[in-house]
Every structure is written in C-alpha cells, then in structure tokens.
C-alpha cells in the first residue's frame, strides 16, 4: 500500500499561519484599545463628575474618582484595564450603572440581525445585478443599473434613511417609523433578542410579518447605500474575465455558456468582489450607528451613540474593542474563502 508522504512543513505551515493570524488580531486590538484609552484621558471631560452627577459636590466627585480608580497613575489604569479585558471584564457603564458586557449582550442581537439581513440582501442582489450587467452590457437594464450604481454611491446614508421614513412611513404609513419588534405585543417570547429569528422560532406568521415590517426601512437604507459598489465591481470584474483568452478558448472547445460564464469566469471574477464585501461587512459592524440612531434601532450602534453623548468612556472603549476585533475576524474569514474560489491559492498553501 502506497503511503502519502507530506512535506515536513505541511502541518507546521498551517499552524504558523494560524498563530500569526491570532497574534496579528491581538496586536490590532491592542493598538485600538491603547489609542482609545489615551484619547479618553486627553479629552477635556471628567468621567468622575459625569458618574457622580452634575449636582454632586467636590467630596462626592473625589470619592467617585477613587472608587473608579481614576486617581491612580495613567499606566496603572491602563494595565488594570487590559487585565480586565483579558478576563472579559469591560467595566461598568456610567450611563446604565451596570456591567458593560451585559449591555453589549442585550444590544448585540438586534445589530447582528440588522447587519446579517442587510448584507445577505445587498451582496446577493449586487452580485446578480453585476453579472447581468456584465453579460448584457447594453439595454434599458444597463441604464437603470448604471443609475443605481451612481446614485447609491453618491447619496449619504442618513439622507436615504430620512427619505424612506418620510415617504414610506410618515406619508404612506406602510412601515413603522422607528423601533424594533415588540415581543409582548406580538405574543412571542424573547429568546434571542432578534425579532425576526424569535418570530421564526415561535412559528408565528403575524409576528414574522411584523418583524419584517420593522426591519424593512433600516435594511433598505443599508442596502441602497452599499449595493452600488457591489454592482459596479461585480460588473467590472466579470466583464474583464469574459474578455480573457481562456474564456474564448473554452467557448471554442464547445463548453456550455453556463459553464463558461457561471463557473469559470465567475469564480475568477469573485475574488475582488469577496474582498470588497469583506471590507463592507467589517465596516458595517461599526458603521451602523447612523442607521440605528435614525430608526431608534436598539442595537450596538444606538448604544454607542448614547455612550458618546454621555462620555461613557468604558462603554466607548468596549465598543471600539468589539468593532476592531470583528473587523479583523471578518477579513481573516475572507482570506479563508479565497482558496475555495481559486485552486491556485489552495495549491500554493
């Protein structure tokens, strides 16, 4: 029986890349935490005063400062904060008076629901529209897609959200102006905190419909703002691949048009699109603040906005850590998708 002999570096290479990725993630998060920590100590605001209340006297403020450890040297505070992060302790919120980790766990499901649904829609529709535009570059559909690509990239996200609110919610009354699903009013239990998922778990069509209604406006705001880049890049990348020599050779050999376009050309064309989608998803993790504020969506974005208003510096640093870690993780996952699309990358690894 033949025994396959792998090179000595076969397993070691993957382990080295994994360790390198973990170290890189930790370094990026540490830099982000360090910068945010430094800025929180530079800005002209007194967290102790905010925590004690504007009507508190000097003695009360000083007592709060001691309780919060703000009277210690800055390096001592920094080391103590890093040690807390290692234990999973983000500290207490000045605004909510509770552990920040509890606040994040409560707000995170709503943001994940909004991000996942929006990303799935604009990624799939953008890729499909880009394929159609690349394969049939002329016609009415091409004019419409070009208009969508130009308008979507030029219009600010807050303007899109306000316009949808005014037209579809305030004037036509088709959708709620703001807010998330009211579980009690819908008659379902709050299992995950994500309205649509909880409605699916409860198998309640009325709750599913209501969850879809409250999701529609914020999701469409994100989709309209992000789909333009996906369409344009997919169209450009696929059009470039369809003009390559290997595509003409495949057609000359009599391969089906579906195989040539949707397998060979599309696989190569998806690499830059996947890179861009990874960046967009990473930015969405920390960039849903405006959308959540406009629609009063009870997620991490709205929590971050309220924390900035109150100068809740522990909460601000916690959100910075989570957003940075999420961005780096998403891009690491994107790097694992490349070998599935391009066998040359898989063989090189």
All structural domains of the chain, each given as residue ranges with its CATH number in brackets, are 9-86 (no CATH), 100-348 (1.10.3720.10)
Is pLDDT above 70 for 197? yes
Q: Tell me what the pLDDT averaged over the chain comes to.
A: 81
Question: Can you tell me the distance from the alpha carbon of 228 to that of 235, in angstroms, rounded to the nearest whole number?
Answer: 11
What's the confidence (pLDDT) of residue 45?
Answer: 67
Query: What are 154-169's pLDDT values in tens digits?
Result: 788 888 888 888 999 8
Query: Considering all CA atoms of the chain, what is the largest pairwise distance in Å, rounded to the nearest integer?
Result: 86
Distance, in Å, from the CA atom of 342 to the CA atom of 269, rounded to the nearest integer, reads 10
The length of the chain is 349
Q: For the segment 240-259, what is each residue's pLDDT rounded down to a tens digit?
A: 888 888 888 888 887 788 88
pLDDT value of residue 1: 42
d(CA 155, CA 225): 7
Q: What is the mean pLDDT of residues 216-230?
A: 90
pLDDT, tens digit, for every residue of 124-150? 999 998 898 888 888 888 888 888 777
Alpha helices in 136-204 (DSSP H): 140-154, 157-164, 183-186, 195-202
What is the CB neighbour count within 10 angstroms for residue 23? Answer: 10
Q: Does the pLDDT value for residue 336 go beyond 80?
A: no
Residue-wise pLDDT for 161-195, tens only, equals: 888 889 998 888 888 888 888 888 888 888 888 88
Cα(163)–Cα(169) distance, rounded to whole angstroms?
9
Instruction: Write down the pLDDT at residue 12.
Output: 58
**Which is more confident, 341 or 20?**
20
Report d(CA 50, CA 95) in Å as an integer.
9
Q: Write down the pTM of the prediction.
A: 0.81
Task: Compute the average pLDDT of residues 48-72.
Answer: 73
- Residue 340's pLDDT is 65
For residue range 253-298, list pLDDT tens digits in order. 877 888 888 877 888 888 888 888 888 887 787 778 889 999 988 8
Confidence of residue 121 (pLDDT cuts 50, 70, 90): very high
Helix 313-341 vs helix 100-135: crossing angle, to nearest 10: 40
Residues 6+ positions from 41 with CB-CB distance below 8 Å:
74, 77
DSSP 8-state symbol, 235: H
């Amino acid at each position: 029986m033949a025994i396959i002999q792998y090179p000595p570096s076969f397993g070691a290479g993957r382990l080295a890349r994994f360790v390198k990725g973990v170290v890189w993630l930790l370094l990026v998060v540490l830099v982000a935490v360090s910068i945010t920590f430094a800025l929180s100590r530079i800005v002209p605001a007194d967290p102790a005063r905010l925590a004690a209340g504007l009507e508190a006297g000097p003695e009360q403020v000083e007592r709060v400062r001691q309780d919060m450890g703000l009277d210690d040297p800055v390096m001592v505070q920094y080391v103590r904060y890093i040690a807390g992060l290692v234990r999973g302790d983000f500290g207490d919120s000045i605004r909510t008076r509770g552990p920040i980790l509890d606040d994040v766990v409560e707000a995170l499901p709503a943001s994940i629901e909004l991000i996942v649904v929006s990303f799935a829609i604009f990624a799939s529709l953008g890729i499909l529209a880009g394929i159609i535009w690349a394969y049939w570059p002329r016609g009415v559909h091409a004019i419409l897609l070009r208009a969508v690509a130009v308008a979507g990239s030029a219009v600010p996200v807050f303007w899109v959200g306000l316009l949808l609110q005014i037209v579809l919610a305030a004037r036509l009354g088709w959708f709620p102006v703001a807010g998330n699903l009211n579980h009690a009013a819908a008659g379902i239990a709050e299992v995950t905190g994500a309205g649509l998922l909880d409605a699916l778990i409860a198998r309640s069509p009325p709750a599913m419909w209501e969850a879809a209604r409250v999701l529609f406006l914020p999701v469409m705001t994100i989709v309209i703002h992000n789909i333009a880049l996906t369409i344009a890049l997919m169209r450009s990348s696929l059009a470039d691949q369809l003009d390559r020599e290997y595509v003409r050779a495949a057609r000359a050999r009599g391969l089906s048009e579906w195989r040539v376009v949707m397998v060979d050309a599309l696989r190569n064309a998806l690499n830059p699109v996947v890179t861009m989608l990874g960046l967009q998803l990473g930015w969405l993790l920390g960039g849903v603040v405006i959308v959540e504020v406009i629609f009063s969506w009870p997620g991490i974005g709205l929590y971050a906005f309220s924390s900035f208003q109150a100068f809740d510096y522990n909460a601000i640093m916690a959100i910075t850590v989570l957003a940075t870690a999420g961005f780096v993780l998403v891009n690491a996952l994107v790097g694992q998708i490349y070998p599935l699309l391009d066998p040359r990358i898989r063989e090189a690894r």
